[in-house]
Chain A
Amino acid sequence: MSTLTEAPPPLAPAPAAERPPRRRGRRTPYWLLLPGILWLLVFFALPLVYQASTSVQTGSLEEGYKVTWHFAAYWDALHAYWPQFLRSVLYAGSATVLCLVLGYPLAYLIAFRAGRWRNLVMILVVAPFFTSFLIRTLAWKTILADGGPVVGALDSLHVLSVTNWLGMTDGHRVLATPLAVVCGLTYNFLPFMILPLYTSLERIDGRLHEAAGDLYATPLTTFRRVTFPLSMPGVVSGTLLTFIPASGDYVNSELLGSTNTQMIGNVIQSQFLRILDYPTAAALSFLLMAAILIMVTLYIRRSGTEDLV
């Protein structure tokens, strides 16, 4: 970036008649950018470079690590942990879909029907954020306890036989199954879906609905042809805000899952802290980042929306 600011003086001379442009004004954008750029450099670019370097090092804690361009670490990591990768994508994907299914009606309600309750409902959506992420997740352990009323009800309604058949649960319990992890992810990231949905729904002009009605569109058609397309920016950014952190999450699977539900975040954590295999951990982090980048790029291309709320 510094090269940009120190670029040679303008080569295209200004027309003679014009007064020289204000010198200060020209630099202002850079000064305004400076804090953000510095922040990005120190807290994003540098750690990224450091991790990239770590991922191609070999060595051990006692002998130190040296850059040996050991790119095989990537292949080895992928080879050893592809099930956890796949699982992360599956769980995060299911949670995102669930969030959308649960969040869209709620956001719609808040935007168009809540009236004077709008602010109150918004506060209710955000309120769980006032307590710690961990506490909220631990609370689900009590709610979904094996002998608890929720599991009892699900069991007697034969919901669990369906989820058992789907492979989401195992026997008469919900905790320590994929279902619990997906539910935890859905719960924890739901507000990230609702807020952008709400902002883009709220911006829709109510008169458009009236106009659609005047043109004999049924409510369903109005939704399909007017409301939903106009809310696409919210849908895209909501799904991204849910999917990206959910796929790297390890808390839900740690607390609500079992040995067979561990996600890639758990692997990275255990490689970093427990096994102290920093190169593998860094390689896994990069693989996760690359996977997410690719998926997100494809998704944005397909969804064909330019602005994200």
Chain B
Amino acid sequence: MEQYEPDRLSPAQVAAVRRSFASGRAALTRRTLLRASAGGALAAGGLAALTGCGIPAAGKTQGAVTSDDHSAEERTVSFSNWPEYVDVDDSGKHRPTLEAFTKRTGIAVKYTEDVNDNNEFFGKIKPQLAAGQSTGRDLIVLTDWLAARLIRLGWVQKLDPSHLPHAYANLSAQFRAPDWDPGRAYSYPWQGVFTVLAYNKKALDGIEVTSVSDLLDNGRLKGRVGFLSEMRDSIGMTLLDMGKDPAKVTADDYDAATARLQKAVDRGQIRRFTGNDYTSDLAKGDLAACVAWGGDIVQLQADNPDIDYVIPDSGYMMSTDNLLVPNKARHRTNAERLIDYYYELEPAAELAAYVNYVTPVDGVKPYLAKIDKDAANNPLIVPDKATAARAHAFRALSQKEETAYEGKFAKLTGA
């Protein structure tokens, strides 16, 4: 405001200005007003405000992270999950496993499907968590790398093992010790996610696809190959194909993998880097083959017999979507009871039969077989020992690495 100096104007000018504002219709046109307000905004913002801003360090949350637990007096838990990630009955109105939980424990579940994308959801909850405020959510489901970031930033609460007897006992061995949360102190998997190669037999027209190399190098697939916009899945599969272990990835390995993908991008081999929307492209045949998520493929196969998948000999990437209790959640104990409930074999089997992702619960197979025999025998839902042994995970990245790697990957995808 110091930019405006009324004393510079002569009295007559001031009078004229006032007159024009008050009565002179012509003076107050849209154009002058826009000009004036834009000028004013720039002048106001220009100096003082610029320096005033700044984004505080995200990690250092003020105040206690574990707010008072109101679980005992408020029998409720609010649970944010991804769309179509919990069982729904045929009428589409009831969620059987969640309702059974409420019936047994008296804890009402406020279930919201508001996680559509890890990055977007992070953008949504970041302001509250960074300011040490409640997000209004007691339980959220996030993919490994984002769960790791929240743990690294200290934005999620430690879970009380005494409330999680089933979870502790039944968690599959392959998910027990991720390097970003050893011993599962903060998180438990909701479902596991296979990353495999999927193809549309009709669109392939006899071309054989068994490895990432086939996707990248076979000229007949030009412009009909898809990769995932999840950096760890796309780069991880490429690294495996190159004989490198994503769990020990170095900067050089990473650059080699991106260079390899870049070549395919430059040649026009790769059509797109997609999120979940590859499923429609694959079903239509616009994508002949792509890197894909197992659960999607199980669902696609049910509608379209042309869709099939292959696990490359070099192995595959396995990630999990994890249950986390954010800071300042009001109902931590209720949330822990919900986590534990889904590690009981029957609810876990019901859930697995519906969502078709990898169940993280050991011993579900016989219960699942009672509901759906095919699902119980599908290695994409209940992986056998040999398949489980070929799973790989991306190493936990430091914040600096994450920024650098995501930046390089974004360049690759054109943005």
Contacts and interface: CB of A to CB of B under 8 A. Distances in A.
Nearest to A52: B50
Interface in A34-65: 37, 40-41, 44-45, 48-50, 52-54, 56-57, 59-65
B41 interface: yes
A52 B46 CA distance: 9
B395 interface: no
A59 to B, nearest CB: 7
Given A12-B15, A52-B45, A275-B407, A66 B40 contact: no
A262 B23 CA distance: 51
Interface stretch (B68-76, B280-288, B327-335): B280-288
A258 to B, nearest CB: 6
B349 to A, nearest CB: 35
Interface residues of A, number: 69
Interface string B37-53: 10011001100011111
A146 B285 contact: yes
Contacts of A276: 403, 406
A209 interface: no
Interface stretch (B270-278, B294-302, B313-321, B353-361): B270-278
B263 interface: no
Interface string B43-65: 01100011111111111000000
Q: Is the interface of A mostly helix, strand, loop or mixed?
A: helix
Nearest to B398: A62
A266 B285 CA distance: 25
A40 B284 contact: no
Contacts of A206: none
A176 B223 contact: yes
Contacts of B268: 170, 258, 260
B14 A53 contact: no
A40 B37 CA distance: 8
A210 B21 CA distance: 42
B21 A49 contact: no
Most buried by B among A45, A84, A145: A45
A64 B12 CA distance: 51
A145 B200 CA distance: 15
Interface in B103-127: 119-120, 122-123
B12 A12 contact: yes
Most buried by B among A30, A62, A84: A62
Interface in B133-176: 152-153
B281 A273 contact: no
Interface string A74-105: 00000000001000000000000000000000
B399 A61 contact: yes
Interface in A1-54: 1-4, 7-8, 10-12, 21, 25-26, 28-30, 33, 37, 40-41, 44-45, 48-50, 52-54
B50 A49 contact: yes
B310 interface: no
B123 A49 contact: no
B414 A176 contact: no
B386 interface: no
Contact of A274 (B18, B49, B410): B410
Nearest to A66: B54
Interface string A254-268: 010111111000110
Contact of B415 (A1, A37, A54, A269): A269
A147 interface: yes
Contact of B412 (A12, A257, A259): A259
Contact of B58 (A53, A62, A257): A62
Nearest to B273: A259
B58 A273 contact: no
Contact of B403 (A33, A44, A60, A64): A60
A171 interface: yes
B248 interface: no
A278 interface: yes
A269 to B, nearest CB: 7
A187 interface: no
Contacts of B280: 138, 141
A53 B54 contact: yes
Contact of B22 (A11, A25, A67): A25
Contact of B51 (A67, A142, A147, A278): A67
A171 B14 contact: no
Contacts of A44: 41
Contacts of A12: 11-12, 14-15
Contact of A29 (B28, B153, B412): B28
B265 interface: yes
Contacts of B52: 53
Contact of B1 (A3, A67, A260, A267): A3
6 contacts: A56-B50, A62-B58, A64-B56, A66-B54, A175-B286, A176-B286
Given A33-B33, A54-B53, A275-B406, 4 more contacts: A53-B53, A258-B272, A262-B413, A274-B406
Interface of A: 1-4, 7-8, 10-12, 21, 25-26, 28-30, 33, 37, 40-41, 44-45, 48-50, 52-54, 56-57, 59-67, 84, 138, 141-142, 145-147, 170-171, 173, 175-176, 255, 257-262, 266-267, 269-278
